[in-house]
Structure 1
Amino acid sequence: MRRVAVLTGTRADYGLLRGLLREIDADPELDLRIIVTGTHLIDAFGRTETEIVADGLPIAASVPIWSEADTRSAVAADVGRALPRYAEALIELEPDVLVVLGDRLEAFAAAAAATILSIPIAHIHGGELTEGAMDDALRHSLTKMAYLHFTSTEDHRRRVIQLGEEPGRVHFHGAPIVDALNALELLPREQVAARFGIRLPKQTALVTFHPAVMDVESPEVLLDELLAGLLDVDGLHIVITGSNSDIGTADVRRRIGEFVAAHPERVDFVESFGQVAYLSVMAAAAVVAGNSSSTVLEAPVLGIPSVLIGDRQKGRPVSASVASPSPDRGAIADAVRVAISSPASVEGTAIFGGPGFAALTTQTLRDSAIPRPPRKRFHDLEEKPHS
């Protein structure tokens, strides 16, 4: 049996990985070994490893890496300490391949440890751009460390090949979110509101905001303008979810807490909904706002208009349903008013493909030749003429 380790570090990546994890777990030729890390293991972020347990999936290793500090130097030190912890887990689990998703530091550190140990890596969501965040460099670094690649669009596949990866190892099986949405049964508005003790009228904005150290403005300025703009829209209820563990998160979370406390009549806060409830709230909302990837991926696929703030997602494919106003309260308020008056549309989301990601990716992980050590050739787009 091929031993497949899969790393999950946040509620967001787990939501995208859930279908793949179930397919791998059900395959008689594959041995699933889930490595849980990151904010899954932190109480302040909802300790979302409980979602994995509730889904009945086997956790093979838990690797805590984050301290309570969120400064640049503290995060750099945490990543340094994470390397031997990931290495210890990988040595114990002995995977034939490690699957990582996205562009976060958890994935980067785990992949670095796997590279040193000559463990082949399969990377999901490579070839994308987020020019307003250091995630961009981390993602492309993961591409160069990985042996197998699973991209979310054909354009992203082309870009991974452009980075020197051999075409036969770069696969587009559809985006994980399309698969996830196809398999989910969303909750009715009244049910999800009652479960989390929130208000969910039709004129609701679902808001998620994460700090990005390379953005057009400081996270504090962007957040303050976003929240002020949302308040300026008459009759709009605001539901805010918790921020990721990133550099500057503590101040962002403090500001969100103060905003919620100052406007209890118009604002609800939920640390973590879990994937099904989060997407159910999104489907019931009039608009999605903030700077998370859900503004450019989940919201358009569901046909919900979104308002994207700052440059954190700059470079990703953006559908016509996504507005990107300048980061000031007036422009944001105007964009929200237009969004909530727009009809639902999924125009332009075909670039993410159809359902099938989990099954096709499992098949590729099972049937592909994955050598160890994973030696690679650099694939040149054009052969240079001999002099």
Structure 2
Amino acid sequence: MRSVAIVLGTRPEAIKCAPVIKALQADPRFEPIVISTGQHQQMLDETLAAFGLKPDIDLGIMAPRQTLSEVTYRSLRGLSEKAAGLGAEAVMVHGDTATTLAGALFGLHQRIPVIHIEAGLRSGNLHSPFPEEANRRLVGQIAALHLAPTPGNSANLIREGIGENSIVVTGNTVIDALRWAGENADGYGDPALEDLDSDPRCVVLASAHRRESWEKLPEIAAALVEIASRPEVRVVVPLHRNPVVREAMLPVIGAHPDITVVDPLPYLSFCRLMRRSDLILSDSSGAEEEGPALGKPTLVLREITERPEAVVAGTARLVGRTTAGIVSEVGALLDDEQKYKSMATAANPYGDGLASERTVAALRHFFGEGPAVAPFVPGSDIDAFAAALVTDDVYAETR
């Protein structure tokens, strides 16, 4: 039995790793050890619990207003102190957080192979998103096995000199999680949303929390006020717990009668809220994947993205962070039924719900215990643009 340490610390990591952990648990050839850094302690624990999971080791690094350097240092120190003697044969990390980087460095220092889930995403700009773009590039230089969600992500890695034999295109595990959630979601998780199903208005689900958004949060909040002033619209904002976000947003949106502000919702409740929404407005990377998968037009509060697939497919659109730009783009969709329908029916390029199975199969092959894995291939309706996702032209279009 192969022991695999899965290092995670944030809610998005929990969502996207949970299907993989469950798949590893179901395979008698593997013994997964779930290690939480506690980077987002409460939201992480709640999300893992929704999947019936809990960490085997919790480093508990969370502290108020700690810096990125402190998060990375404390995660790496905790791993060195509590995980070095586990005898793990691989370290699995996801995506691009400070926890991801610390987990990869831990694997490197212990001379343990690093497996990178959601590998190969690139924005082409080292400072956007910050620090995620730098983190994933660094992990890309450390990883022994790169699990790329899309053909475009794989091509990014090849372009950087990563060997093709160390890359497997799996699809994105967020689609696996979303399908599971669709079968298990029950309720919205907050009394303020109890009337949502009977509310005839258009529901705009909005969120913003990225570090590069912080200076623009007042403009984003002002845009939400204008959008909520439309008589046919109700805006719902699950507000991030970060005090920087709350201090910038709440004074602007907190008292508006048509903006419902709630705390971050449990994962299953949030999935139900996404399904109820008519439009998603967010700077979240998860929204860029989940919105298209649910057929929800998704307006991305960024100028550049490492997930250009949905933008090219037409189901997501980069709208920036200015008040005027956001209000204009939302109005264009709400006032033009054909534009709305065009975005709502565009292709989902991110997965088929089998990414976790491919991930475990890729791990078996990596250890010489199974055949090579047939890669995820997006549907024929998006094959034509898959190769273009790695070109400079696409990066230019998404700036």
What TM-score, normalized to structure 1?
Answer: 0.83
Q: Which residue of 1 aligns with 2:360?
A: 362
1:322 to 309, 316, 327: 316
CA offset digits 1:114-138 (Å, max 9, x no partner): 2111121111112112442221111
Q: Contact 1:307 / 1:324 at 8 angstroms: preserved in 2? A: yes
Matched to 1:268, the amino acid is T
**SS of aligned partner of 1:297:** helix
Q: Which residue of 1 aligns with 2:192?
A: 197
Matched to 1:204, the amino acid is V
Q: Contact 2:300 / 2:320 at 8 angstroms: preserved in 1? A: no
Matched to 2:96, the amino acid is D
- Considering fraction of residues, name the structure with more helix: 2
Name the CA distance, whole Å, in 2 between partners of 1:296 and 1:228: 23
**SS of aligned partner of 1:262:** coil
**1:266 counterpart = 2:258:** yes
**1:144 counterpart = 2:141:** yes
Matched to 2:180, the amino acid is A
**SS of aligned partner of 1:35:** strand
Shift of 1:337: 2.5
Q: Which residue of 1 aligns with 2:180?
A: 183
Name the CA distance, whole Å, in 2 between partners of 1:64 and 1:113: 17
Where in structure 1 do 4 or more consecutive aligned residues deviate above 4 Å?
none
CA offset digits 1:167-225 (Å, max 9, x no partner): 1110012221222233333578xx52475431423511111211333x6x824344334
Q: Which residue of 2 aligns with 1:334?
A: 328
Q: Contact 2:12 / 2:286 at 8 angstroms: preserved in 1? A: no
The higher-RCO structure (CA 8 Å, 6+ apart) is 1
Q: Contact 1:205 / 1:289 at 8 angstroms: preserved in 2? A: yes
Q: Which residue of 1 aligns with 2:389?
A: none
Q: Which residue of 1 aligns with 2:281?
A: 289
**SS of aligned partner of 1:4:** strand
CA offset digits 1:308-361 (Å, max 9, x no partner): 112363563223122333533233122113334412634232x32422111121
**SS of aligned partner of 2:156:** helix
Q: How large is the Cα RMSD of the aligned pairs?
A: 2.5
Shift of 1:276: 2.2
**SS of aligned partner of 2:187:** helix
* Structure 1 residues 353 and 251, CA gap change in structure 2 (3 angstroms): closer
Q: Which residue of 2 aligns with 1:92?
A: 85
Q: Contact 2:205 / 2:235 at 8 angstroms: preserved in 1? A: yes
Equivalent residue runs for 1:3-82 within 5 Å: 3-41=3-41, 46-53=42-49, 55-70=51-66, 74-82=67-75
Shift of 1:232: 4.2
**1:256 counterpart = 2:252:** no
Q: Contact 1:207 / 1:240 at 8 angstroms: preserved in 2? A: yes
CA offset digits 1:294-320 (Å, max 9, x no partner): 332110111101111123635632231
Name the CA distance, whole Å, in 2 between partners of 1:193 and 1:78: 31
Name the CA distance, whole Å, in 1 between partners of 2:219 and 2:148: 30
Matched to 1:272, the amino acid is P
Shift of 1:287: 0.6
Matched to 2:154, the amino acid is R
Q: Contact 1:212 / 1:219 at 8 angstroms: preserved in 2? A: no
* Structure 1 residues 207 and 361, CA gap change in structure 2 (3 angstroms): same
* Structure 1 residues 61 and 187, CA gap change in structure 2 (3 angstroms): closer
CA offset digits 1:3-47 (Å, max 9, x no partner): 011122122221112211111011111101001123442xxxx44
Name the CA distance, whole Å, in 1 between partners of 2:170 and 2:317: 28
1:239 to 233, 236, 241: 236
**1:164 counterpart = 2:158:** no
Q: Which residue of 2 aligns with 1:313?
A: 305
Equivalent residue runs for 1:208-219 within 5 Å: 208-213=207-212, 218-219=215-216
Shift of 1:228: 3.7
**1:113 counterpart = 2:106:** yes
Number of residue pairs matched by the alignment: 353
Name the CA distance, whole Å, in 2 between partners of 1:326 and 1:142: 28
Matched to 2:353, the amino acid is P
**SS of aligned partner of 1:91:** coil
Name the CA distance, whole Å, in 2 between partners of 1:281 and 1:252: 21
Matched to 2:331, the amino acid is R
Name the CA distance, whole Å, in 2 between partners of 1:92 and 1:233: 59
| Identical positions, percent | 20
Q: Contact 1:96 / 1:119 at 8 angstroms: preserved in 2? A: yes
Shift of 1:266: 1.6
Deviates more, 1:23-32 or 1:355-364: 355-364
Name the CA distance, whole Å, in 2 between partners of 1:47 and 1:243: 10
